[in-house]
């Protein structure tokens, strides 16, 4: 499955852009298009997760997106990826999520808006200024640091 997700991301990047309709849609609708192009292979079409491959994003992120530290965690995982052992909803996952830093700041904002919708929230959990600031962090947070942050922000 990870190979399929990587191939899907490569196809989007090779095309140079998302379809025109995805570029003009609302942020949440645009985010749904991005999710369908990049994230669905591992996390499922509705963010329900895939047993043994990737955790659910729909539901478990609701309390995380409600807090600034949690929104920062989600943004940094999108930008930097995440690897290693994590536990979500009683399931253990050991794998690697690729960084999505090749997406534009606007695309990451839109993807965040879609993740918010999947978790019963409205609006984007972060804006382009926050994405740019997180992208500019030097050094970028390590996957170990992101797993430690996850332990603090995930219920």
Residue 57 has pLDDT above 50, yes or no: yes
Domains of the chain: 2-153 (1.10.760.10)
β-pairing, 82-88 with 91-97?
Answer: antiparallel
For residue 6, CA distances in Å to 11, 13, 146, 150 come to 9, 10, 21, 23
Quick one: pLDDT at residue 53? 95
List Cα–Cα distances, 137 to 133, 140, 142, 145, in angstroms: 6, 5, 11, 13
- pLDDT at position 155 is 81
- pLDDT over 50 at 153, yes or no: yes
The whole model's pTM is what? 0.83
3-state secondary structure string across 31-56: HHHHHHHHCHHHHCCCCCCECCCECC
Tens-place pLDDT, residues 1-50: 444 444 444 444 444 444 544 455 799 999 999 999 999 999 999 999 99
């Amino acid at each position: 499955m990870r190979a399929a997700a990587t191939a899907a991301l490569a196809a989007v990047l090779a095309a140079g852009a998302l379809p025109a309709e995805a570029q003009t849609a609302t942020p949440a609708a645009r985010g749904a298009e991005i999710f369908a192009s990049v994230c669905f292979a591992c996390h499922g079409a509705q963010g329900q997760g895939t047993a043994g491959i990737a955790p659910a994003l729909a539901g478990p992120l609701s309390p995380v997106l409600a807090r600034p530290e949690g929104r920062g965690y989600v943004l940094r995982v999108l930008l930097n990826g995440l690897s290693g052992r994590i536990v979500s909803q009683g399931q253990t996952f050991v794998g690697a999520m690729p960084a999505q830093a090749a997406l534009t700041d606007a695309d990451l904002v839109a993807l965040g808006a879609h993740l918010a919708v999947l978790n019963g929230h409205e609006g984007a959990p972060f804006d382009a200024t926050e994405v740019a600031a997180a992208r500019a962090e030097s050094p970028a947070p390590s996957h170990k640091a992101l797993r430690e942050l996850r332990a603090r922000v995930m219920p």
